[in-house]
């Protein structure tokens, strides 16, 4: 990673890639364990952490495959570490069963997916956003996933920090969803000072060990899992469990806990939802895009504004939970909406469900090529009156 260009009390300037900034942010917000396996286009995250973590007292381990990579990361997290794993679509598929363990056992973990073309091994070196619904439902059963999608180098840094905070706050795996363009984009980024970061660490029970019930939690709150080897005993399992973690088939207990796993996130949507509005105040047309496509959309907005076309951008940063209320507000305000994404309409489907409206224009690609500002402008020209 490049040295900082400017670090004299103000903001820090550095030339780096998105993947490198994910690694830097992880270490600077307290990540002290990475377990994984290299895969294009995410390998730079592991490479950087293999250098950075040992320098900062952390542990890096490359395992024999993706399954082992997430397994050791979950184990480290259970032992109190702030842990991360990273991969791309095929690797996430292999991690699916252990992701489910993270959800049901309430183990905080940041999972980075730098998306490439799929399905299967697909297009390893090309850009795509086709893993969106995989991130929403990354394993079997009923799960409620938090998914964050940066679209700039600065957001690769800040949203990595946020992903760790949310994982620790809600005791759950959190997906950081980059796409290949964002991961490999290399330019100057302006970062906050480490002292400016807000860092959240998971709650710990400090009472009598005999009274410790890790999974005894209110309907809208996560479990309280003390780190291993600290004198507090409990059981960890992939089976449904009671207050001490031991398996149960009691229908009432299972019902309470599975609903709690959903409600601990849904009841705190205001803490999770994050988006950016760009030149929407006086716009007649709204573009909805995320990740690298939002960058093209911003340039298209600026170019079209120069020609007198009033266009704006709504960019969701938290993709899931879906910001449904905000999307309904956007839908009510704009009759002309264009949804752009590098898949065949995965987020468009979520927007349709949220707004109960299906008359949007779409610009969709799944051939590994980016969406250009010119393509977006051309599509905007298809609206009546443009």
Other CB atoms closer than 10 Å to residue 120's CB: what's the count? 8
Name the helix (H) or strand (E) containing 264.
helix 251-266
Instruction: Please give the Cα distance from 15 to 21 (Å, whole number).
Output: 9
What's the confidence (pLDDT) of residue 262?
Answer: 98
For the chain, what percent of residues have pLDDT higher than 90? 96
Residue 378 is part of a domain; what is its CATH number? 3.40.50.920
Average pLDDT over residues 68-92: 98
DSSP 315-353: EESEEES--HHHHHHHHHH-SEEEEEESSSSHHHHHHHH
DSSP 60-105: EEE-SSHHHHHHHHHHHHHTT--EEEEE-HHHHHHTHHHHHHHHHH
Average pLDDT over residues 315-332: 98
Instruction: Please give the Cα distance from 174 to 298 (Å, whole number).
Output: 27
Average pLDDT over residues 293-321: 98
Verify that 190 and 285 share a domain, yes or no: no
What's the confidence (pLDDT) of residue 4?
Answer: 84
Containing structural domain, residue 16: 5-196
Number of domains the chain contains:
2
- Angular region, 57: left φ>0, alpha ψ -120 to 50, beta rest: left
The pLDDT tens digits for 209-247 are 999 999 999 999 999 999 999 999 999 999 999 999 999
Q: Who's near 386: CB < 8 A, 6+ residues apart?
A: 285, 309, 380
What's the confidence (pLDDT) of residue 321?
Answer: 97
pLDDT at 28 over 90: yes
What's the confidence (pLDDT) of residue 42?
Answer: 98
Using a 10 angstrom Cβ sphere, with 0-12 exposed, 13-18 middle and 19 or more buried, the burial of residue 345 is middle
Verify that 183 and 287 share a domain, yes or no: no
Verify that 183 and 330 share a domain, yes or no: no
Verify that 29 and 145 share a domain, yes or no: yes
What's the confidence (pLDDT) of residue 352?
Answer: 98
Average pLDDT over residues 140-167: 98
Instruction: Please report, for residues 281, 321, 327, the alpha-carbon distance to residue 338 in angstroms, rounded to integers and kept in the order given.
Output: 17, 21, 13
Question: Does residue 263 sit within a domain?
Answer: no
- Look-up: residue for tokens 């994910």? 22
Of 150, 174, 196, which residue is a domain's last?
196
Of 151, 167, 196, which residue is a domain's last?
196
Verify that 26 and 125 share a domain, yes or no: yes
Q: Where are the beta strands (DSSP E) in the chain?
A: 4-6, 12-17, 33-36, 59-62, 83-87, 109-117, 123-127, 146-148, 173-179, 186-191, 275-278, 285-288, 311-316, 318-320, 336-341, 361-364
The pLDDT tens digits for 95-136 are 999 999 999 999 999 999 999 999 999 999 999 999 999 999
pLDDT at 189 over 70: yes
What's the confidence (pLDDT) of residue 9?
Answer: 67
What's the confidence (pLDDT) of residue 6?
Answer: 77
Verify that 185 and 300 share a domain, yes or no: no
Verify that 170 and 291 share a domain, yes or no: no
Instruction: Please give the Cα distance from 315 to 40 (Å, whole number).
Output: 26
What's the confidence (pLDDT) of residue 266?
Answer: 97
**Using 50, 70 and 90 to split pLDDT, how confident is the model at 71?**
very high
What's the confidence (pLDDT) of residue 11?
Answer: 86
Average pLDDT over residues 164-190: 98
Verify that 41 and 189 share a domain, yes or no: yes
What's the confidence (pLDDT) of residue 7?
Answer: 73
Verify that 48 and 182 share a domain, yes or no: yes
**Using 50, 70 and 90 to split pLDDT, how confident is the model at 8?**
low
Of 162, 196, 230, which residue is a domain's last?
196
Verify that 40 and 183 share a domain, yes or no: yes
pLDDT at 2 over 80: no
Question: Does residue 221 sit within a domain?
Answer: no
Average pLDDT over residues 187-207: 96
């Amino acid at each position: 990673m490049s040295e900082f260009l400017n670090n004299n009390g103000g903001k820090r300037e550095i030339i780096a890639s998105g993947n490198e900034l994910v690694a830097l942010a992880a270490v600077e917000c307290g990540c002290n364990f990475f377990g994984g396996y290299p895969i294009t286009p995410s390998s730079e995250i592991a490479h950087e952490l293999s250098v950075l973590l040992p320098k900062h007292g952390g542990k890096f381990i490359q395992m024999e495959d993706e399954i082992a990579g997430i397994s050791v990361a979950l184990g480290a997290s259970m032992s109190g570490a702030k842990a991360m794993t990273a991969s791309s679509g095929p690797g996430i598929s292999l991690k699916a069963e252990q992701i489910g363990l993270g959800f049901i056992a309430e183990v905080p973990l940041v999972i980075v997916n730098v998306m490439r073309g799929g399905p299967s091994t697909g297009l390893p070196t090309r850009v795509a956003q086709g893993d969106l619904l995989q991130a929403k439902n990354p394993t079997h059963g009923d799960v409620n996933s938090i998914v964050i999608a940066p679209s700039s180098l600065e957001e690769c840094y800040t949203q990595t920090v946020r992903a760790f905070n949310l994982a620790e706050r809600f005791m759950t795996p959190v997906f950081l969803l980059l796409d290949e363009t964002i991961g490999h984009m290399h330019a100057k980024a302006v970062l906050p000072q480490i002292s400016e970061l807000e860092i959240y660490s998971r709650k710990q029970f400090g009472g009598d060990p005999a009274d410790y019930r890790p999974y005894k939690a209110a309907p809208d709150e996560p479990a309280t899992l003390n780190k291993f080897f600290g004198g507090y005993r409990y059981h960890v399992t992939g089976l449904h469990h009671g207050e001490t973690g031991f398996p149960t088939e009691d229908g009432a207990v299972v019902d309470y806990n599975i609903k709690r796993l959903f409600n601990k996130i849904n009841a705190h949507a205001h803490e999770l939802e994050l988006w950016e509005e760009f030149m929407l105040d006086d716009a007649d047309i709204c573009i909805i895009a995320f990740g690298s496509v939002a960058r093209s959309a911003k340039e298209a907005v600026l170019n079209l504004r120069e020609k007198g076309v009033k266009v704006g951008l709504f960019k969701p940063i938290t993709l899931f939970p879906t910001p449904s209320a905000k999307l309904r507000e956007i839908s009510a305000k704009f009759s002309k909406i264009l949804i752009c994404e590098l898949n065949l309409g995965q987020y468009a489907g979520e927007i349709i469900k949220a707004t109960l409206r299906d008359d949007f224009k779409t610009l969709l690609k799944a051939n590994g090529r980016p969406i250009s500002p010119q393509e977006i402008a051309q599509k905007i020209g298809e609206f009546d009156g443009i």
